[in-house]
Structure 1
Amino acid sequence: MPLLPPASPRFRRPALLVGLVLSAMVFSGCSAAATTAPAATDAAAAGTISVTHARGESEVPAQAKRVVVLEPVALDASVALGIVPVGAAVLNEAAGIPSYLGKEASGITSVGTVTEPNVEKIAALKPDLIIGTESRHSALYDQLSSVAPTVYLASQADPWKDNVKLVGKALGRVDEADTLLADYDARCNEVKTEFAVEGKTAQLIRPRDGLLTVYGPESFAGSTLECVGFTTPPRDWQNSISVDLSPEKVLEASADLVVVTTTDVDDPTTMPEAITANASSFPDVHLVDQSYWITGVGPMGGLKVLDDIESILRDAR
């Protein structure tokens, strides 16, 4: 049965908002102390913080206000932390900024794609911080650094929680990032406790370019399926988060639960023919929203994925 992604009532921000208020109070206190201290020379007192990242160490604004992000995890995490970027690279220009991020993100300017960000568009936004990725944007670092202080994640394939923490560091909101991840873990445990799916397998499939991309346990959504108790069917992941299969090998993607990404969960024709033609091998298959199962890497996307998993398991009862 196609799945209409539910709202995410459990995405709560009280703890985060409290953390932000406390952070502001602490920062204000530090600033006040700096006016009376005879020699306040540390970077924080000067309005910057030092961030160690994939390209070394950078001094960035302690409270960046005009942020440009070039990776989905940085976009999701920034919005979740209450700092809506002025610009973002997107996976697909036609799709634009993922709608699951909410109205507050609808005004973000696209600065190209994650694989080909446009430096001129970035510069035109006059950012005070840029967050990119070494694995994708290595050749652009010098150009970007000449525009604004730039922080690089090592790779989009790195454990997404580590990347969220680095984004939190770059934005001066380390504690708040930890809170977001703790909320995600708590939500995982809720679903795991309620449905007890240990011993069952689950596989995420993304149809694209005539192939079926299956995602492993180190991927964002794959790790979320595992965090609620599912196991990803074993295979050689070739040191990657995903592997492409030809439609002829579709049976290799079978599992107790199979979720297939689509841009329209209400359209059953978006289910790959290779799967519908082998229905007996896929007794429990569901369409899920690609905008957060694939492109929504981060705490907000994670909670949306967990809501979908919960709905699927509840409907199966």
Structure 2
Amino acid sequence: MKLGKLSKKILMTSLILSSIALVGCTTNNSTNKENNSSDNQITVQHKLGTTKLNSKPKRIAVLELSFLDSLHNLDIDPVAIADDGESNKVTDVTNGEKIDYVSVGDRKEPNLEELSSMDLDLIIADTSRHSEIYEDLNKIAPTIVLDSIDSSYDEYIENFETIAEIVGKEDVAKAKIEEAEKVLSDVKDKAKDKVSDEEVLTVSPKNDEYTAHTSSSFVGQVLEKAGFKNAIQSDDREASLSLEQLVEINPDIIVYMRDDIDTTIYTEWKDTELYKSLDAVKNNKVYTTVARGPWTQYRGFISVNTLTKEMSGWLLNN
């Protein structure tokens, strides 16, 4: 059947309008996808800048043990961990639970080549140890840098909340923080009656240095929240003491935060008359931790539990 000129014109107009409608639909769908992508994007402010993630990261590398502690308490296992080549440090933090991960070397000097081979979504690094290699890490995968080595307990909690937000586990984080706060509060109630007037000096001695952790350190803050007064109130996290300065402080309680103190400067001091004059020594209130890691290396919820448990056993449960 032949179409008249008018009919042909009507048909052509219909086809053009249909094409315009289809183009409009395609354009709208594309815009929606872009908007969705933007909605899923995560922007993280951290110590060295801003990092953008297009989605919740699944393959995560951690270069400090406190970040492992955070992820483990959010029910997430990192695929790569700087564990110093000591897998027992990982199982310490995970309460004995074995996880499947790749060791990427020392916390001080992580193996960049190994990290490059792992198709990572996110790297979590420490300000103190990894700032100088931040650009190298960022070329491997999006990287955020947070305080770990130099963090207080409050800063650990802030980092924990940041990591929880990145992985979409804010509710889990809130419950975990409340659990830790209850542990600290319960111990504080017991400490109030038994050690409220006594000062605690926490020490991590070295070969040639007697290094105490102050009220601003991770350990110091945890113990103060648990009702134990730190013998050194300071904004500096650590204080290197001479024997004379130690005698001047004269703490009621001394806690050595490593189990190998006989390899440190302690051996030079312990038999001196000055050291023996300390109240803590005379009253048999000098204690040595079972293991160094939870006190000076891990800085997380595992540390909170260990510190409060050991302090309670020494001072509160008698």
Specify the TM-score bucket, using the shorter chain as the normaliser: 0.7 to 0.9
Change in 2 beyond 3 A, CA 1:58/1:198: same
Q: What do the CA deviations read for 1:70-120 (whole angstroms, capped 9, x no partner)?
A: 123212111121112222224x54686244223335654332322222211
Change in 2 beyond 3 A, CA 1:212/1:77: same
The one of the two structures with greater contact order (alpha-carbon pairs below 8 A, sep at least 6) is: 1
| Correspondence for 1:100 | 92
Q: 1:53 Cα deviation (Å)?
A: 1.6
Alignment of 1:140-219 (within 5 A): 140-154=133-147, 156-158=149-151, 159-196=155-192, 197-219=195-217
Q: 1:260 Cα deviation (Å)?
A: 0.4
Q: Which has the higher helix share?
A: 2
Contact 1:133–1:154, Cα closer than 8 Å, also in 2: yes
| Correspondence for 1:6 | none
The reply on whether 1:231 has 2:229 as its aligned counterpart is: yes
Contact 1:202–1:233, Cα closer than 8 Å, also in 2: yes
Q: 2: distance between equivalents of 1:161 and 1:57?
A: 20
Q: 1:132 Cα deviation (Å)?
A: 0.8
Q: 1: distance between equivalents of 2:252 and 2:157?
A: 27
Q: 2: distance between equivalents of 1:179 and 1:252?
A: 43
Q: TM-score, normalised by structure 1?
A: 0.75
State the structure with more CA Rg.
Answer: 2
Q: 2:254 aligns with which of 247, 251, 258?
A: 258
Q: 1:154 Cα deviation (Å)?
A: 4.8
Contact 2:89–2:293, Cα closer than 8 Å, also in 1: no
- The amino acid across from 1:100 in the alignment is D
Q: 1:280 Cα deviation (Å)?
A: 4.6
The reply on whether 1:41 has 2:35 as its aligned counterpart is: yes
- Aligned residue for 1:104, secondary structure, equals coil
Change in 2 beyond 3 A, CA 1:57/1:175: farther
Contact 2:134–2:143, Cα closer than 8 Å, also in 1: yes
| Correspondence for 1:7 | none
State, as a whole percentage, how many aligned pairs show the same letter.
25
Q: 1:204 Cα deviation (Å)?
A: 0.7
Contact 1:73–1:163, Cα closer than 8 Å, also in 2: no
| Correspondence for 1:287 | 288
> Structure 1: which 5+ runs fail to align?
1-34
Contact 2:190–2:316, Cα closer than 8 Å, also in 1: no
Q: 2:57 aligns with which of 55, 64, 78?
A: 64
Change in 2 beyond 3 A, CA 1:249/1:124: farther
Q: 1: distance between equivalents of 2:131 and 2:109?
A: 11
* Greater displacement, 98-107 / 115-124: 98-107
CA RMSD in angstroms, aligned pairs only: 2.9
Contact 1:73–1:296, Cα closer than 8 Å, also in 2: yes
> Structure 2: which 5+ runs fail to align?
1-28
Change in 2 beyond 3 A, CA 1:103/1:226: same
Aligned length: 274
Q: What do the CA deviations read for 1:246-301 (whole angstroms, capped 9, x no partner)?
A: 4565435642221102246xxx8568332465345123011112110111201222
Q: What do the CA deviations read for 1:27-47 (whole angstroms, capped 9, x no partner)?
A: xxxxxxxx9x9567245754x
Contact 1:202–1:255, Cα closer than 8 Å, also in 2: yes
Contact 2:60–2:78, Cα closer than 8 Å, also in 1: yes
Q: 1: distance between equivalents of 2:100 and 2:33?
A: 42
Q: 1: distance between equivalents of 2:49 and 2:181?
A: 30
Q: 1:209 Cα deviation (Å)?
A: 2.7
Contact 1:77–1:300, Cα closer than 8 Å, also in 2: no
| Correspondence for 1:113 | 106
